[in-house]
Each structure stands twice: as structure tokens, then as C-alpha cells.
Amino acid sequence: MTENTRRRDLFRPVQLIGLSLLCGVFAGMVTLIATGAFTDKVMRMVDRGTYAGIPPWNLAFIVTGGIFIAALLILSILILAVDPADFTKPHDRPVLYDKTDDGDAPADGAADAGSAPGDAPQI
């Protein structure tokens, strides 16, 4: 990656839409299976699972669309939280550690001032 890497280059919109569509289709398939849309054709529509009178295929279509929109919104908001410059910097330490000049000194000053460097900590 170069210095001029843009957010769009890091996570293209097609990937964002594809991932959201995958989430929506998965939720739709779970809805179809849970409502019994693939049950035996001998059974009448009354015997199949419905939700407030909505047939399983219509309900799955509604759930697929809703989850697609929700996933697209959530993923796009999360993409805005990522700084593209973070992808060019190497991360050689755990992310949640405090930033210190030297890696050995604790950030909260928990080291006892009266102890020698070789002494064991007192409990």
C-alpha cells in the first residue's frame, strides 16, 4: 500500500454490498427453514408456519430485505470508524496496551520507587 491509499481502495463498496447481501440471504434462509416453507406439498398453507397470516416465502423476503439494509448500515458506519492511515502503519504490539516510550515501564506508575531493580515484588 502506498501513502495515498484511500478508504475506498481498502474496502470497496462491492464488497460491502456483497457482505450485506450474504447476511440478508442467510437470514432469509433461516426464516424459510424455521417457518416450514420446505415442508411436504401435501400439507395445506394453514398447516404451515405463518407469522400473523404472512406466508413463509413473503416473510423470508421481508426478513432478507430488512437484514440487508441493517447490515449495510452497520458495516458502512463501522467503515467510517477506520482510519486508512492505520493500514499503512505496522502494529508490533497488542492494540489495547498503553503507548509508552520504552516497552518495559508500566504506564500507570505501579513500580515501587523504593525497590531495587532485581528485587521481587512484595505481596
pLDDT at residue 7, as a whole number: 63
Residues of the chain with pLDDT under 50: 42
pLDDT at residue 36, as a whole number: 80
Q: Across 44-88, where does the E strand assignment appear?
A: none
Alpha-carbon span 114 to 30, nearest angstrom: 63
Cell of 3: 501513502
pLDDT at residue 42, as a whole number: 39
Chain segment 48-80, per-residue pLDDT in tens:
556 677 888 899 999 999 999 999 999 989 888
pTM to 2 decimals? 0.58
